[in-house]
Amino acid sequence: MNLSSKPHAMYTPRALQALEQGLVELESHALTRRRRIADSPCAPHICLDGEQVVAFASNDYLGLASHPALIDAIAEGARRYGAGSGGSHLLGGHSRAHVLLEDALADYAGGFARAPRALSFSTGYMANLAILTALAGRGATIYSDALNHASLIDGARLSRADVRIYPHADAVALAAMMDDDHGDGVKLIVTDAVFSMDGDVAPLAELAALAERHQAWLVVDDAHGFGVQGGDGAGTVAALGLRSSLLVYMGTLGKAAGVSGAFVVAESTVIEWLVQRARTYIFTTAAAPALAHAARASVALMRGPEGAARRRVLRANVDAMRGFVARTAWATPAAHTPILPIVIGVNEAALALAGSLMEQGFWVPAVRPPTVPAGTARLRLSLSAAHEPVDIERLGAALLAAGGAGAPYAAGGAGAASPFGGIDSI
């Protein structure tokens, strides 16, 4: 048979039919996701699907993603080191640019450790898989917050450890679970520092005390806190002044840092173990050195007076937006972070509100299950230092019109159970 001959026009394989049916089912539950196309750099005012909109959607909390100094740094890095790394870190792809970035990161975010060292990764997703698979294995126990990021969930699964989910941000419940556990296997407590869909902050001091008591690793994913939390932006762990050799800190470079990539900071021994054992470090092409070069420039910006000034503007923007949300019928989130969820409930209602805001020129994404638990579809509003007061006031007015007492979207309520509902738990 000639496999390169004309495709069969009349016949749809069963495997393909199943996918078509799956897509129809997603659509029927208002769960189809669409990618909107940006024709401009990441900024509050962007051209999205051909329309000018004000975006409250990015993780570019400090407004650094289109900072001229970082654009120049990428160009300079490319001139100095080339366009690509050409190989994995252990086989020729490890550049001076990566080394300098790692040194800067260990110095910035490693204050919790005795001998801090950093390891850079191409993405936070890979960094989390690296930590969990290298530190945990069969016989280990991973204690994981119920609302942890998908990359931590996947890393825990891939590690083959026993996974025990503790109620969200509940250190008391976790303590009871750990007291119950009399095994002597490796233990890890794993948590987002700032939760990506709720914007609240993990009880890290309590978790660190538990980690010490049970000699467990404490793995902290600070994707949304690095660059933002703490006076100097060194992240949520540094802001709390925690110190422990059991801490393993992950931060990302594509959110507040405005570039791309991620890193782990821990005791030097932990980092050496990752270099030797972490498959998502070893078996992948090193990120372009130009990106590492730009990320180091970003660290310098975040640490310096410009970073401090941007954090002050960001905090003012967060407070101003919270003031508007507080005047609607929706609950105002407790934590003062740049992630402001407005929980609507039903998928269709969240989509309708996002659609109505889009018609008024605001891009505020609706987040649905399985990214968030069923019945908690929401708008995920994120703020940046790059937003102008007028951006916030205009969105605030639109929210008041939509969700003030008696307004069309104010009711909320729990969504109907759907086959796709429920957080994608372990």
Ligand X SMILES: *Cc1c(COP(=O)(O)O)cnc(C)c1O
The verdict on 293 binding ligand X (CB under 6 A) reads: no
Candidates 81, 125, 217, 226; binder of ligand X (CB under 6 A) is 125
Tell me which DSSP letter residue 202 carries.
Answer: -
Centroid of chain to Cα 251: 9
Q: Which stretch binds ligand X (CB under 6 A): 7-15, 38-46, 123-131, 401-409?
A: 123-131
Spatial contact of 185 and 168, defined as CB atoms under 8 Å apart: no
For residues 192 and 391, which CB has a smaller minimum distance to ligand X in the complex? 192
Binding string to ligand X for residues 150 to 179, with x set by CB under 6 A, is what?
Answer: -x----------------------------
For residues 280 and 418, which CB has a smaller minimum distance to ligand X in the complex? 280
- Compute CA distances 201 → 167, 191, 226, 265, whole Å: 14, 10, 13, 20
* Least spacing, CB of residue 214 vs ligand X, in Å: 24
Give the residue carrying structure tokens 């990752």: 274
Selection from 340, 382, 424 nearest residue 65 by Cα: 382
Candidates 149, 168, 310, 380; binder of ligand X (CB under 6 A) is 149
Beta pairing partners, 267:
116
For residues 159 and 252, which CB has a smaller minimum distance to ligand X in the complex? 252
* Least spacing, CB of residue 73 vs ligand X, in Å: 18
Distance CA 112, CA 102 (A): 16
Q: Which stretch binds ligand X (CB under 6 A): 120-128, 209-217, 267-275, 414-422?
A: 120-128
The verdict on 124 binding ligand X (CB under 6 A) reads: yes
The verdict on 58 binding ligand X (CB under 6 A) reads: no
Candidates 57, 64, 101, 223; binder of ligand X (CB under 6 A) is 223
The verdict on 221 binding ligand X (CB under 6 A) reads: yes
Pairing of strands 51-55, 247-252: unpaired
Concatenated DSSP letters for 64-124?
-TT-HHHHHHHHHHHHHH-S---SBTTTT---HHHHHHHHHHHHHH-TTSSSEEEEEES-H
Distance CA 140, CA 9 (A): 52
The verdict on 120 binding ligand X (CB under 6 A) reads: no
Selection from 173, 193, 181 nearest residue 248 by Cα: 193
Candidates 85, 123, 280, 384; binder of ligand X (CB under 6 A) is 123
For residues 44 and 254, which CB has a smaller minimum distance to ligand X in the complex? 254
The verdict on 192 binding ligand X (CB under 6 A) reads: yes
The verdict on 317 binding ligand X (CB under 6 A) reads: no
Structure tokens at 260: 């791309």
Distance CA 422, CA 261 (A): 30
For residues 221 and 391, which CB has a smaller minimum distance to ligand X in the complex? 221
Candidates 161, 219, 248, 262; binder of ligand X (CB under 6 A) is 262
Q: Which stretch binds ligand X (CB under 6 A): 10-18, 179-187, 216-224, 417-425?
A: 216-224
Candidates 141, 196, 298, 418; binder of ligand X (CB under 6 A) is 196
- Compute CA distances 134 → 131, 140, 145, 248, 271, whole Å: 5, 11, 19, 12, 10
The verdict on 254 binding ligand X (CB under 6 A) reads: yes
The verdict on 118 binding ligand X (CB under 6 A) reads: no
CA-based R_g, the chain, Å: 22
The residues binding ligand X (CB under 6 A) are 123-125, 128, 149, 151, 192, 196, 221, 223-224, 252, 254, 262
